[in-house]
Structure 1
Amino acid sequence: MENTIVLEEPITAQKCSENLSSVEDAIYVIGGKWKLKIIIVLQESGNIRFNELQRNIQGISARVLSNELKDLELNGFVKRVVHAEQTPVVVEYISTDYSRTLKPVIMALSQWGKTHKRKIKEDF
């Protein structure tokens, strides 16, 4: 079955360039091996501590996770909550409302991935 895309207006070179630029910006912020995995786990788990987050993302090192969390926090996808009143100090990470705006994108990617996997299996 072939998917047909119906365009409302012809795409100009300028519009194409704008679309490419926007996609590049999005990929820069959420691209890479780990960022989307971190965002998905945080959205599914709610408040989660660093070690639990690391256990949920198989193969990520503590150093890489720490760097990715800093990056995601800088871009407004993750909030770091420090409970200094507890001993020892407890640090939790939560996804922000802004992070949850990615939910439709993540769901679309998930569905596309499932469809693609089926297609590849059928082709072989």
Structure 2
Amino acid sequence: MRDLRQEIKAKIEKQQFNCEKELTLSIISGKWKVVIIYHLGVDGPFRFNAIQKLFPRISHKVLANQLRELEEDGIVHRQVYHEVVPIQVEYSLTPLGETLLPIVLMMYDWGKKRMEDLKV
């Protein structure tokens, strides 16, 4: 597994991002990350299986990787409940992740309006 956080830090140190927007996009890039952030922020927290039910076409492996990367970047918090059998894991947004929510909501509103405009 690649260590995305270290990769981003190295790029910042080497000044490989042309602007701050590239850093933001590198964190939220991934087919499912924006919608994961949306649902955790609006409807969450969620257990893994509940997230997977939101996206029937996502594989277990892809969802796990997307959540892991968001966790490594400090966007998602993974809470493990050891006292419950079987062990349960719940995902929620961190305070840093919550700062992305207004951006994600604006993207949602923009996309909704654009879809309405295209219906003709």
Q: Same fold (TM over 0.5)?
A: yes
Larger radius of gyration between Structure 1 and Structure 2 = 1
Aligned-residue offset at 1:87:
1.4
Q: For 1:88, which of 66, 72, 86 is the aligned residue?
A: 86
Q: For 2:27, which of 17, 23, 29 is the aligned residue?
A: 29
Q: Percent identity?
A: 38
| Alignment deviations for residues 75-113 of structure 1 (CA, whole Å, 9 cap, x no partner) | 011111111112111111111111111122112212221
Structure 2 residue runs without a partner (length 5+): 1-16
The letter for the 2-side match of 1:101 is T
Aligned-residue offset at 1:20:
5.3
What are the within-5 Å matches in structure 2 for residues 7-46 of structure 1?
A: 21-46=19-44
Q: For 1:69, which of 67, 70, 74 is the aligned residue?
A: 67
| Alignment deviations for residues 35-90 of structure 1 (CA, whole Å, 9 cap, x no partner) | 01111111123221111110012311100000011100000111111111121111
Q: For 1:52, which of 50, 53, 58 is the aligned residue?
A: 50
TM-score by length of 2: 0.77
Aligned-residue offset at 1:115:
2.6
Q: Higher relative CO (CA 8 A, sep ≥ 6), structure 1 or 2?
A: 2
Structure 1 residue runs without a partner (length 5+): 1-18
Distance in 2, matches of 1:116 and 1:45, equals: 23
Q: Which residue of 2 aligns with 1:121?
A: 119
Distance in 2, matches of 1:83 and 1:51, equals: 15
The letter for the 2-side match of 1:50 is F
What is the SS of the residue equivalent to 1:82? strand
Q: Which residue of 2 aligns with 1:79?
A: 77
Q: Considering only aligned residues, what root-mean-square deviation do their CA atoms show, in Å?
A: 1.7
The 1:118–1:46 alpha-carbon spacing in structure 2 relative to 1, beyond 3 Å, is closer
Preserved CA contact (<8 Å) 1:78 1:95: yes
